Amino acid sequence: DINQAEATEMVSRLLISRPGLLYNILTGGENLFSYQIAKIALLTKRDFTLDISSRGGAKTYTAAVFALMYAITHPGIKILVLGPTLRQAKTLLNYIMDISKKPNAYLLRQFLTEKNYKKDPDRYSIKVGTGTFGPESEIFAMALGDGKKIRGARAQVIILDEAFAIPQNIIDEVIG
C-alpha cells in the first residue's frame, strides 16, 4: 500500500527517466530524435551540463522540452532561463507554448494553458501544473544584461541560453 504522495513520486521518477516516452504521452504521439532524448536524460542526471551543438542542433528546443518535463515531474520547482537579451531568453518559453499548441497535446494542456503565460517588461513566465498534485512549478525567463536585473531572482534550476555571450565575471559573481 502506498499513499498519493508516494504514488506521485514514483510515477514522476519513472517518467523523467524516460524522456522520449513522457514527450510522446504529453504531445499525443509526437517523438523526439534519439539525440534529444539522450541530452534530456543527461540534463536530468547532472548538475552542470554544457551543450555544444552545431547551428540548427535544436539546443534551445531541447532545453525547452527538458524545462517543461522537469517542471511537470518536480512540482513547485522554479526554473530560470537566462539569455544575453530577453528576446533570446523568452525563445525557450515560446517553444514551450508552441509544444502545448500541438493538435494532440491534450494531456499537456492540462498542465499548461495560455493563461499560465505571463509577460512583464523584464520577465516572462509560465506556470506549470494545476496545484492538484502539488504546488505549481514556474519557468521564467529574464535578460542577464549586466547582472543587476536578476539580483534577487531565486531558482533551483538555471538554464543559460547562449552562454558564450555572457561575460565570465557575470557567471562567477552573479549567477554563481
Q: What is the mean pLDDT of residues 18-45?
A: 89
Higher pLDDT, 4 or 24: 24
Percent of the chain clearing pLDDT 70 (strictly above): 86
Residues 138-162 have pLDDT tens digits of 999 888 766 666 777 788 888 887 7
Q: How far is CA 51 from CA 19, 37, 97, 135, in A?
A: 17, 13, 22, 30
Instruction: Tell me the backbone φ, ψ of residue 66, rounded to 5 degrees.
Output: -60, -50
In the chain, the amino acid numbered 53 is: S
- Which residues, including other chains, have CB under 8 Å from residue 135's CB and lie 6 or more apart? 75, 76, 129
Residues 83-138 have pLDDT tens digits of 877 888 888 889 999 999 899 998 888 888 777 888 888 888 899 886 666 678 99
Nearest to 36 by CA among 11, 15, 53: 53
pLDDT at 78 over 90: yes
Residue 157 DSSP label: E
Are 71 and 137 in contact, with CB atoms under 8 Å apart? yes
Sign of the CA dihedral running 175, 47, 128, 2: negative
The torsion defined by the Cα of 48, 137, 12 and 158, in degrees rounded to 10, comes to 0
Q: What's the predicted TM-score (pTM) here?
A: 0.84
